[in-house]
Amino acid sequence: MRAVFASRNRHKAEQVARLLPDVELVLLDEVAPGLELKEPFDTFEENALAKARTVAAHTSMPAIADDSGLEVDALSGAPGVLSARYAGEDATDDDNNRKLVEQLRGVPEDRRTCRYRCAAVLVMPDGRELVAEGTCEGRVVLDGRGNLGFGYDPHVVPEGETRTMGEIPLEEKLRFSHRGRAFRGLAEKMRILETSAQAEHLQVERTRATLDESDVQTGPFRQFELWMREALERESGEPNAMTLATATRDGRPSARMVLLRWFDERGFVFFTNYESRKGRELAENPQAALVLYWGSLQRQVCITGRVARLTTEDSKTYFDSRPRGSRLGAWASHQSQIIGSRAELDERLRALEDRYPDDDIPLPPFWGGFRLVPDTIEFWQGRPNRLHDRLRFTRTEEGWILERLSP
């Protein structure tokens, strides 16, 4: 899609371009240099829609816009929609930050809680509209730090962090920021919108979809790679989500959703707390089953096999790639154990933030990866009248054999 970004803020345009890689973003000055955009409303959503509607009507092109700001609890939600002009219509970022600090001087740090809020919208020339919202909780610090952001970033420390938004690099910030969350939500809705325009065609394709022995890739892993790639392109949400079923030594089963982190011909990898229920059951009975289901494609893959822990080195490599908050969370949570209150968990996290003030957080000895080494991999393709196609690969000493199962 080619769309106009309804803003003249190039910092913001840079972020949005990264968050919407499938959109060819056209800057407003390239198509409507003299167009005036107003933000007259009391909510971020209304202001974003007003700007996008103006641009879509003027250019006859899809228009993307956002409105965002800082809400400070001690100031009853101010500056809110006035964030960009908190100190006046022609205020600079420095002007706004000075006023914010003056308003909060004397307010205890634990009462300087705040949140960034962003509404991201798409307006189509035919009148269709999409809206998504994102928030990022944090607190205001009076001494500004960092120059990697704009607006109030030097004075806002996001939840779970010790650095200000002005000290956090853009790529890292976009993973959790209000704008990152809003535009990722908008991107998902845009994918659904694009798909809905082809819904009737897709329904026909579903009823015609088949899984024939002659079409299957050589070996189950190549077939799985093909299906996973198609799921990533067409399935909303998290296509790598899968049910993991385990059992105790005496066969009492349990199941839950986990995320497939990677796979290769050695097996399928997921991560967890080794002392969780699934971790304990896998220690007692290292057999498991996985199911991945992709509803829009009417497909599922059922996998069974033996499970083994990853090496500490492999677990550490993945752990170090996770966001800081997720790494601290792995230490804070005694997964599957009874806990007295949410406050107890929050207190553990605060203690860990003090213990590890920088990014050097070690791998917990009780946390890491498992690899399921498959014995069987079954590919299931939905067909009309519940006469589905089911092809199963089974591992033998000579290699994989392929068999068709009755639906």
Residue carrying the six token digits 């809206």:
131
Q: 330 φ, ψ to 5°?
A: -65, -35
Write the single-letter amino acid at 229: R
Q: Would the pTM count as exceeding 0.95? A: no
Domains annotated on the chain, with CATH: 2-196 (3.90.950.10), 209-405 (2.30.110.10)
The pLDDT score that the predictor gives to residue 204 is 47
* Per-residue burial over 135-156, b = 16 or more CB atoms within 10 Å of its CB, e = otherwise: ebebbbbeebeeebbebbbbbb
- Pick the catalytic residue from 105, 208, 342, 386: 386
Cα separation, 50 vs 269, whole angstroms: 46
Provide CB contacts within 8 A for 339, sequence distance 6+.
345
CA–CA–CA angle 58, 61, 63 (5° rounding)? 85
Residues, the chain? 407
DSSP annotation of 142: S
- Alpha carbon distance 277, 351 (integer Å): 25
Q: Which residues pair with 158 in a beta bridge?
A: 138
Tell me the pLDDT of the chain averaged across its residues.
93
End-to-end CA distance of the chain: 40
Identify the CA nearest to 174 among candidates 182, 117, 69: 182
Ranges of residues in the chain with a pLDDT under 70 are 197-208
E strands, 207-264, are 241-247, 253-259, 262-264
Residue 256 known to be catalytic:
no
Query: Which residues have C-beta within 8 Å of that of residue 128, sequence separation ≥ 6?
Result: 193
Centre a 10 Å sphere on the Cβ of residue 396 and count the other Cβ atoms it contains: 8
With beta carbons less than 8 A apart as the criterion, state whether 298 and 276 touch: no
pLDDT attached to residue 217: 85
Q: Going by C-beta distance under 8 Å and a sequence separation of 6 or more, which residues neighbour residue 182?
A: 66, 68, 118, 119, 120, 132, 133, 134
Q: Note whether 328 and 352 are within 8 A (CB).
A: yes
User: Could you tell me the two tokens for 328?
Assistant: 């601290």
- Cα 80 from Cα 96, distance rounded (Å): 12
State the pLDDT at residue 205.
52
The owner of tokens 């006469």 is 387
